[in-house]
Amino acid sequence: MISKVLIIANGTKAESLLLADEIISFLDENGIGSYLVSTRSCSERLSVPLSTDLVITLGGDGTVLYAARAVHDLGIPILPVNLGTFGYITEVGKSEWKETLTAYMANGENISRRLMLRIAVLRSGKKVWQASALNEAVISSSGIAKVISLELSLDNTMLGNFRADGMIIATPTGSTGYSLAAGGPVIDSEMSAVIITPVCPFTLSNRPLVTSGKVVSLTVPPGQRTDLVLTADGQLDFPLEEGDRVTVEKSRSRVLLVRSLKRNFTEVIRDKLHWSGAMHA
């Protein structure tokens, strides 16, 4: 039973507010209350009332990432509507929202459960920053010199020292983003796995690694030739110092995404990656 809906509109897209008005009218006709938040920055703080039964995002994948960090631990589903062509996360096109919403209101069964990451930075043994991410956590250079050094451990086992342009720790949802561009594998979106992908590593044997359940720990050793920055979902960032330890692990809660009735994950990656079997220029 849905009684209150939060609509998050990408304020940089004029059509998002027009569509929001259309959705609000539909909800009113069905006796469902709603409130609208228009955001222009994905770093803005989002307050979600506990009375919320559903979140509808109007924008693109970035708007969904923003909403996911705010509601994943509240168990509130997100219906992501893409205002352009459908995205990797936003499977629902702008002409399909009513059909998808109506189906969800009828049975609530078209839900995809996506893994989230918990990220923390420890400095001198104290936690100085924490965040969640639906796509990935990335450590990279914030300066001109690109190459950084990192010590990588899984649980309490040292895996090695890496020299690379960066390191990506991605979820299955994020496997089709930056990790894929850096040579990582595509993972089914509902798997419970974490992908570790070095960016342009100096050692050819440093390859992407898929693991399940282990805590990924990355320590910044001394002697860096550039400043380092940690980013979550490409939207939140935190400057790192030598000696910092970054831990990335699975969140206990998952993001609940309302699925499209028109296409599934396999169809999305087939179409977005042009896996038609034919050559493309």
Catalytic (active-site) positions: 61
How far is it, in rounded angstroms, from Cα 90 to Cα 172? 15
| Largest Cα span, the chain | 63
Instruction: Enumerate the β-bridge partners of residue 148.
Output: 164
Q: How does 171-184 read in b/e, with b if 16+ C-beta sit within 10 Å?
A: bbbbbbbbbbebeb
DSSP string, 87-155: -SS--EETTSHHHHHHHHHHH---EEEEEEEEEEEEETTEEEEEEEESSEEEEEESSS---EEEEEEET
How far is it, in rounded angstroms, from Cα 72 to Cα 13? 25
Kind and range of the H or E run holding 61: helix 61-71
Q: Please state the length of the chain.
A: 281
Centroid of chain to Cα 226: 27
